[in-house]
Amino acid sequence: MLKVVNLSKSYRSTQETVHVLRGVGLAVARGESVALTGESGSGKSTLLHLIAGLDEADGGDVWVENARVTGLPDAGRAALRRTRLGLIFQQFNLVPSLSVADNLAFQAHLAGQYDPAWLTELIARLGLDALLKRYPEQLSGGQQQRVAIGRALAVKPALLLADEPTGNLDEATADEVVHLIRDLVARSGCGLLMVTHSARLAAMLDRRLHLSGGLLA
């Protein structure tokens, strides 16, 4: 699902050049869930943004399925995010004017990949049946994150990228959310790369990578 080869990224200021990523390489297989850990400022979010095509690398390649993300123009990267990538962030980013049901279906409709049967399964697995007519402001943090997970998976992405998806949740809810993400990833067959500060949450996934000094271990 994902192949990253010799990826590098630096940020330049008037005083210095900060080398965030120094030739990073990794792979995530279909149905595999991988945790990405590292100290604050180690470049975890930068790596996710490069994979998603939200930023441009200085060197190296990112492949999602058979698409070379690093070779695509802006419009091509946007199309890839819309159709082949699922993105989950610490901030839920739900549309406040849309109901839960409409938030869940929004991206799938936009991508032309709306599948009522798959969405019904997601709603059941995420425990959202009784919440479909509510709006984001009427939900708890854990409920909003469940909606965000469902929205990301509704398009049947090849790859799910999650950046601290439990950062705003209590420990018990965080554990529950990560279990759900892992199980749904295995069920859908997509790959998962999840940034987390928590060793406990990282241990729930299939494999753990640690980013330090711009390199993975």
The answer to whether residue 25 is domain-embedded is no
**Band (5; pLDDT cuts 50, 70, 90):** very high
Would you say residue 24 lies in a domain? Answer: no
Mean pLDDT of the chain: 93
Q: Which CATH number is 79's domain given?
A: 3.40.50.300
CA distance 7 to 215: 10
Q: Would 183 be classed as within a structural domain?
A: yes
Specify which residues 208 forms β-bridges with.
35
What's the burial of 96, exposed, middle or buried (CB within 10 Å: 0-12/13-18/19+)? exposed
Say whether pTM exceeds 0.85: yes
Q: What total of structural domains would you count in the chain?
A: 1
62: in domain: no
Neighbouring-strand partners of residue 209:
36
How far out from the chain centre does Cα 201 lie? Answer: 15
Per-residue pLDDT at 14 exceeds 80: no
pLDDT tens digits along 76-102: 999 999 999 999 988 889 999 999 999
For 133-174, what is each residue's pLDDT tens digit?
999 999 999 999 999 999 999 999 999 999 999 888 889 989
Does 23 fall in a domain? Answer: no
- Domain extent at residue 195: 30-56+73-216
Q: For residue 4, is pLDDT > 80?
A: yes
- Domain contains 7: no
Determine the Cα–Cα distance for residues 96 and 183; give it in Å rounded to an integer.
28
9 within domain boundaries: no
